[in-house]
Amino acid sequence: MNKKVKILIYILLAAIWIIGTDFIIAQLNLDLQVYTTIQNIKALFFILLTSFFIYYSFIKQEESKAVTAEKEKLEALINSMVDFVNFKDGEGRWTQANDFALKLFQIDHVDYKGKKDSELGAYSTFYKEALEYCEVSDEEAWKIGKISRWTEKIPIPDGSTKTFDTLKIPHFYEDGTRKELVVVGRDITEQVIAEEQLEQKKQKYKSLIQYNPELVYILNAKGEVLELNPKFEVLTGYDPNDFIGKSIVSIISEKDKKEVKNAYLEILHKRRSIKNKEIEIIRKDGDKRILRCTAVPTVIENKVVGAIGYAHDITKETETEERLRKTEKLSVVGELAASVAHEIRNPLTSIKGFIQFMQSNDDKNGSYYKIMLDELERINQISSELLALGKPREIQFESCDINEIFTSVMWLLESQANLYSVEIDYISDKNLPLIDCEPNQLKQLFINIIKNSIEANSKKITVQIGTNEANQLQITIQDDGTGIDNERIERLGEPFYSSKEKGTGLGLTVSYKIIQSHRGHIQFNSDLNNGTRVTILLPIKSARID
C-alpha cells in the first residue's frame, strides 16, 4: 500500500471519527462542563490514535524496510563470499549461514536455523563427526573469550581433505553472558599444499647442503657468508655460525687473498664460474689446508646476488703428489749420484794414497797435507752419501731401546757440542717401550738433525722423548738458533738444496728416506731468529716395510 492511499484512508477515518463522535455527544444533551471534558478526552484520544496510525503506517514500515534491506545486503554479502560464514547464538544454535557453509556440510536442503551442530549432524552422515567436533572447538573459543584462530581439516567425499583457516569471534552481553558466536573460515588447502611442497624442497635443499660430504658455502654480493654446512668446522676448526654475515677471507693464506678477491669479482661482474681453484687456508689451530674450490653465480631476476660453491680438501692429495715428485726426483738423482760416486772413489783413493805418501816424506808442509786430506775426506763422505741415495741397503729391523740409541748419539755429538758451546738437555721416560727399527739409521737421522741445530748458532738444544695418544714414539728436538724461513722449510729434504756455505742438502734427504723406511713422520716448525722445533713420530710396532 502506497503513501497516497494511506493518507486518503487517514482523512476518511478522521472525518468519520470527528463527525460521528460529535453527533453522538449532541444526542446526549450534556451540560456544558461535561460536554467540554468529553470533547477534551475525545481530542486526546484522537491524537493517540493518529500517532499510532502514523507510526505503524509510515515510520515502523520504513524501519522494517531498512532492516529488511540490511538483512538482504548482509545475506547477499556472506553468500557472495568464498569463505565459510556461520552465526550462532549463545547456546550454539545456528542463526545464519552462507551457501558455502551449507553446501560444504551437505545441509543446504535443511532448515538449519535454531539447530545445533550435533542436531544438524543427523542430516549429514558423512559430516556427522566434523559437525560434532565444531561444538567442541566452539566451546574452547567461548572459554578463550576473544578472537581465536583455528586450523581445521574437513574431509571431502572424494577422499581428499580441505584445510580451513578459521576465526571464531565470541560476543557477550554486558552482564557477561553469551550473546553470539561468529565463525569465518577460509579455504587454505592450496596454500597448505604449496607450503608443504615448499617445505619438502627446503628439506631437500637443506639435506643437499647440510649432509654434503664437501664444504658447501653460499655468499651474498658483498662476499659475506649466508650459509655454511657442518663440513666447514671439520676443515677449518671454526664454528660456521661465527662467520655468518662475515667474510671468510680472513682464513685464506695471504698469498691467495688477492687472487680469491679477483675471482669473486669475475663471478659478480662477468657471471663466470670458477672451477677447481686451489686455495690455501689457515685452520684455527694454525695448520694449513689446501682446498680445491668451485663457485657459480647466484642469479635472481637476471641479477647476480652472490655465489654458491663447494670446496674439497686436497691437502693429502697434494702432499702425496709432492712426495711422489720428490721420490721421482730422488730416484733420478740417486742413480746419477751412485754412478758419479763410484767414478769418484777410485781416483780419490789414489790421490789420497799419494798425498799420505808425500806427507810421510815432507816435514815442512804438513799443514798443507792435512788440509788436502781433510778435503779429500769430505769428498769421500759426500760420495758415501751419494751411494746411500743410489744404492739403499737392505734394512734389518730389530727391537731397540730408544734411550740406548740416543745415549750413543749424545756421546758422538759431545765433542762438537762442546766446540760450539751448545748445551744439550735430554729428557726421556725411562720406561719407554722397545721400538722396531734399524738402530744405525736412526742414529744417522738424529745426528743429522742435532748437528743442524748445533750449526744454527744455538745455545741450548732440548731433546724430549715420549709416547702420544696414537701409540707412537714422539721425539721433539727444540733449539734456540737462527731458525728457518718458510720458503726453506718447504724445500727441506730436496737433494742438493742447502743454506750452508759448504752444504749439499744430502743429510736431510737421507734423513727423510730413513723416516720413510720406518713409516714415520717428520715435521719442522720454525721462525727466523726464534729457533726450530723438529717433531719426529715413529710407530712403536710394525715399522718394518715388507
Instruction: State pLDDT tens for residues 17-57.
Output: 677 777 777 777 766 676 677 766 776 776 677 666 666 66
Q: Which domain covers residue 256, as residue numbers?
A: 212-313
199 within a domain of the structure (yes/no): no
207 within a domain of the structure (yes/no): no
pLDDT, residue 281, reads 92
Pair 527, 446 in one domain: yes
Confidence bin at 546 (pLDDT 50/70/90): very low
Q: The CATH number of the domain where 441 resides is what?
A: 3.30.565.10
Q: Mean pLDDT across the stretch 151-165?
A: 86
- Tell me which DSSP letter residue 170 carries: E
363 within a domain of the structure (yes/no): yes
Pair 374, 414 in one domain: no
Pair 188, 55 in one domain: no
Long-range contacts of residues 504-507, Cβ cutoff 8 Å, at least 24 apart: 504/382, 504/385, 506/382, 506/385, 506/386, 506/389, 507/385, 507/448, 507/451, 507/452
H or E element, residue 537: strand 532-539
Q: Is the pLDDT of residue 422 over 80?
A: yes
Residue after which a domain boundary falls, among 364, 390, 416:
390
pLDDT, residue 92, reads 92
Pair 60, 89 in one domain: no
Pair 524, 415 in one domain: yes
275 within a domain of the structure (yes/no): yes
Three-class HEC string of 107-141: CCCCCCCCCCHHHHHHHCCCCHHHHHHHHHHHHHH
545 within a domain of the structure (yes/no): no
Pair 295, 281 in one domain: yes
Q: Other CB atoms closer than 10 Å to residue 183's CB: what's the count?
A: 24
Pair 417, 510 in one domain: yes
147 within a domain of the structure (yes/no): yes
Give the CA distances from residue 354 to residues 345, 368, 376, in Å, rounded to whole numbers and listed in that order: 14, 14, 12
Mind listing the pLDDT tens digit for each residue in 125-150? 888 888 888 888 999 999 999 999 88
- Tell me which DSSP letter residue 311 carries: E
Place of cell 689457515: 282
Confidence bin at 377 (pLDDT 50/70/90): confident
Q: Is the pLDDT of residue 94 over 80?
A: yes
Pair 152, 113 in one domain: yes
Pair 426, 411 in one domain: yes
What value does the mean pLDDT of the chain take? 80
Pair 359, 292 in one domain: no
328 within a domain of the structure (yes/no): yes
Confidence bin at 393 (pLDDT 50/70/90): low
To the question of pTM greater than 0.75 for the whole model, the response is no
Question: Could you tell me the three cell numbers for 510?
Answer: 737421507
Residue after which a domain boundary falls, among 390, 407, 440:
390
Confidence bin at 73 (pLDDT 50/70/90): low
Alpha-carbon distance 522 to 94, whole Å?
87
Pair 294, 386 in one domain: no
Residue after which a domain boundary falls, among 264, 287, 313:
313
Total domains, the chain:
5
Closest CA to 482 of 528, 524, 448: 528
Q: Is the pLDDT of residue 436 over 60?
A: yes
326 within a domain of the structure (yes/no): yes
Q: The CATH number of the domain where 144 resides is what?
A: 3.30.450.20
Pair 301, 367 in one domain: no
